Amino acid sequence: MSIKDEANRRKTFAIISHPDAGKTTLTEKLLLFGNLIRSAGTVKGKKSGKFATSDWMEIEKQRGISVTSSVMNFPYRDYQVNILDTPGHEDFSEDTYRTLTAVDSVVMIIDATKGIEAQTIKLFKVCRMRGIPIFTFINKLDREGREPLDLLEEIEQVLDIETFPMNWPVGMGKRFLGIFDRHNKQFVKYNGNEEETYIPYDQLDSPEHEELVSSATYQETSDELELLDEAGDDYSLEAVLKGEQTPVFFGSALAPFGVQTFFDTFIDMAPNPTPRKSTDGLVNPETEEFSGFIFKIQANMNPAHRDRVAFLRVCSGKFERGMNVKLARTDKLFKLSQTQQFVASSRDTVEVAYPGDIIGIYDPNIYRIGDTLVEGKDSFEYDELPQFPPELFKKVTAKNVMKAKQFRKGIEQLVQEGAIQLFRGYPMESFIIGAVGELQYEVFEYRMKNEYNVEVMLESMGERIPRWLKKEQVDTKLFDERNLLVKDREDEFLVLFKNDFALRWFEDKHPKIDLIDLFEVN
Ligand code: G4P
């Protein structure tokens, strides 16, 4: 098969949701379709107990599970499916966001009983800014949930995206009868078990379906459906692929119901790998030369060897184990031989990979997040990965002042690796670490101690609102602990405002100073 054919077979996506909406349950069902697991209940594990704070070994053990399952791949019909996990719960970190830079589409799960929740909004916004196509699965239809129209309205308003219901539920909870599959023009009947009955629209008036069709719930819903056909948004694959419209599927991951139809429809519609922006313009997946970028580095998977694994998304060409590649940042050539592919329960060596695939490469401490690897003489770099707004800020100091050198070295390396974001106080130097989740601090603390032999103290500064300043407008007298002046890794100035009020007060008082919000998402 040519590189083009292989690329066109790839469907690489992430599933995003708020904790408890049903991501694990749905993922499990998809793995069953792919014959990756034989029975439900295999993927679980992350819930099997909480780890003690700062007990990194335990985190490792926990993560051991989430790492091997952080990329799942399997053949399905004519496709090669790659599902990337987006850790939530206490594992939420910048990695969760960065994973979204490595996928071609996203499945967003919404709990029908709750509607849109905080974590969904955050991840959704990243997708929206990057124009990633979003497919919505509204879950838990077997329970009494909110009205479908209500849920669609909420998606449209809160997330500012058009919706197109691919199917429409008839009743819910105890009255749940099934769905109108608008896309395939059939009624999918819920029998209260795993068996689904498919009735093409034109056969619904046959006598055997009379009981169903004459029920009040069915009648009401058909009226609603007519309204939807007339007044709803038109379906547009073009808008979907631009991330402007989201096809919505209703179902139940647990029952399971509507999952097969959802997956079959989704997988046909979801985009294959598309060209990516680089310093050389758009790079086509079909290009002969292999290229890819690193979006995540997992350190200390094996504490005894201190090795790391860099997760690389293949963007063009064909990867073959042992091939020579160039690290674009340094222009150094080397051989890529220690590579892994991630399957649900084991890590196999990967021999070949194509655009859309994710491979794990052994990292002897040379890679950084965002690095591009290319085959051939001419190197280029893929667009830099965006920085995501930290929500937590902590001041960090070394417990033992004599360890200043190791302290700096450790911080520098962890910043380069993308494990944390560093801000330096100005003019009095202090170190402030920004993160999106507590886990990042736990990992930071543990690694500083174990890899650099430095015990650190972290002092919370609470949530802060970062705003950048132009160099020429910086006046150190205007700032204090409340509105703290710091520099970022590029030596640009920014202020960490204590809260919204402090920010507004400053803006009123100093209207001539431009405050710039540099983060892609807020
Ligand atoms: P997550 O990965 O997004 O955090 O969610 P997960 O799949 O673990 O599901 C969260 C809870 O919701 C689980 O119940 C799960 O069984 C339930 N659930 C998922 N899909 C459906 C559905 O379609 N209908 C209903 N009624 N429930 C659903 P739990 O009691 O928290 O966990 P467990 O003890 O069942 O494992």
Q: pLDDT (tens digit, 9 = 90+) per residue, 434-489?
A: 988 787 888 889 889 888 899 999 999 988 999 999 999 999 999 998 899 999 88
Using one digit for the tens of pLDDT, what is the confidence trace for 153-209? 999 999 999 999 999 999 999 999 999 999 999 999 998 887 889 999 999 999 999
371 is in an annotated binding site: no
Nearest atom in ligand 1 to the alpha carbon of residue 18 is 3
Residue 134 and residue 217 in contact, taking contact as beta carbons nearer than 8 Å: no
CA distance 138 to 429: 49
Rg of the chain in Å (alpha carbons): 25
Which amino acid does the sequence have at 241? L
Residue 345 and residue 329 in contact, taking contact as beta carbons nearer than 8 Å: no
pLDDT score for 451:
83
Q: Is 300 exposed, middle or buried (0-12, 13-18, 19+ CB in 10 A)?
A: buried
Strands, DSSP E only, in 303-403? 307-316, 319-320, 323-327, 332-336, 339-342, 347-349, 352-353, 358-363, 372-374, 392-398
133 is in an annotated binding site: no
Please give the angle made by the CA atoms of 96, 44 and 343, to the nearest 5 degrees. Answer: 65
Say if ligand 1 is within 6 A of residue 107 CB: no
Say if ligand 1 is within 6 A of residue 24 CB: yes
Say if ligand 1 is within 6 A of residue 27 CB: no
Q: How far is CA 446 from CA 209, 442, 465, in A?
A: 63, 6, 27
Say if ligand 1 is within 6 A of residue 110 CB: no
Q: How far is CA 278 from CA 275, 284, 291, 473, 490, in A?
A: 9, 10, 11, 33, 21
Nearest atom in ligand 1 to the alpha carbon of residue 252 is 23
Query: What is the whole-number distance in angstroms between the Cα of residue 23 and the centre of ligand 1?
Result: 8
Query: What is the whole-number distance in angstroms between the Cα of residue 151 and the centre of ligand 1?
Result: 19
Say if ligand 1 is within 6 A of residue 120 CB: no
Residue 99 and residue 127 in contact, taking contact as beta carbons nearer than 8 Å: no
252 is in an annotated binding site: no
Residue 133 and residue 270 in contact, taking contact as beta carbons nearer than 8 Å: yes
Nearest atom in ligand 1 to the alpha carbon of residue 17 is 3
Beta bridge partners of 338: none
Q: What is the pTM of this model?
A: 0.86
Nearest alpha-carbon partner for 344 in 70, 107, 40: 70
Say if ligand 1 is within 6 A of residue 25 CB: yes
Q: What letter would DSSP give residue 384?
A: P
CA distance 82 to 341: 11
279-284 contacts, C-beta under 8 A, 24 or more apart? 279/380, 279/381, 280/378, 280/380, 283/315, 283/316, 283/380, 283/382, 284/316
18 is in an annotated binding site: yes
335 is in an annotated binding site: no
Count of helix runs (H) and strand runs (E) in the chain: 13, 30
- Residue 77: in which H helix or E strand, if any? none
Residue 296 and residue 98 in contact, taking contact as beta carbons nearer than 8 Å: yes
pLDDT score for 48:
36
First to last CA, the chain: 43
139 is in an annotated binding site: yes
Which amino acid does the sequence have at 11? K
pLDDT score for 268:
96
Say if ligand 1 is within 6 A of residue 119 CB: no
Nearest alpha-carbon partner for 322 in 349, 296, 287, 292: 349
364 is in an annotated binding site: no
| Polymer length in residues for the chain | 522
Encoded tokens for 173: 């909870």
The position carrying tokens 């929206």 is: 128
Longest dimension (CA), the chain: 86
Strands, DSSP E only, in 317-364? 319-320, 323-327, 332-336, 339-342, 347-349, 352-353, 358-363
Query: What is the whole-number distance in angstroms between the Cα of residue 121 and the centre of ligand 1?
Result: 20
In a 3-state reduction of DSSP, which class is residue 101? helix
Say if ligand 1 is within 6 A of residue 23 CB: yes
In a 3-state reduction of DSSP, which class is residue 301? strand
Say if ligand 1 is within 6 A of residue 94 CB: no
Say if ligand 1 is within 6 A of residue 254 CB: yes
pLDDT score for 307:
66
pLDDT score for 44:
45
Say if ligand 1 is within 6 A of residue 90 CB: no
**Sign of dihedral through CA atoms 247, 251, 254, 255?**
negative
Query: What is the whole-number distance in angstroms between the Cα of residue 492 and the centre of ligand 1?
Result: 45
Say if ligand 1 is within 6 A of residue 22 CB: yes
Nearest alpha-carbon partner for 187 in 225, 233, 151, 150: 225
Low-confidence ranges of the chain (pLDDT < 70): 36-69, 88-91, 299-307, 339-349, 519-522
pLDDT score for 66:
43
Nearest atom in ligand 1 to the alpha carbon of residue 41 is 36
410 is in an annotated binding site: no
Q: How far is CA 435 from CA 62, 89, 91, 94, 241, in A?
A: 20, 15, 12, 7, 31
Helix axes 259-269, 23-33, angle to 10 degrees: 80
ipTM over 0.95: yes
In a 3-state reduction of DSSP, which class is residue 522? coil
Which backbone phi and psi does 405 adopt, to 5 degrees?
Answer: -70, -50
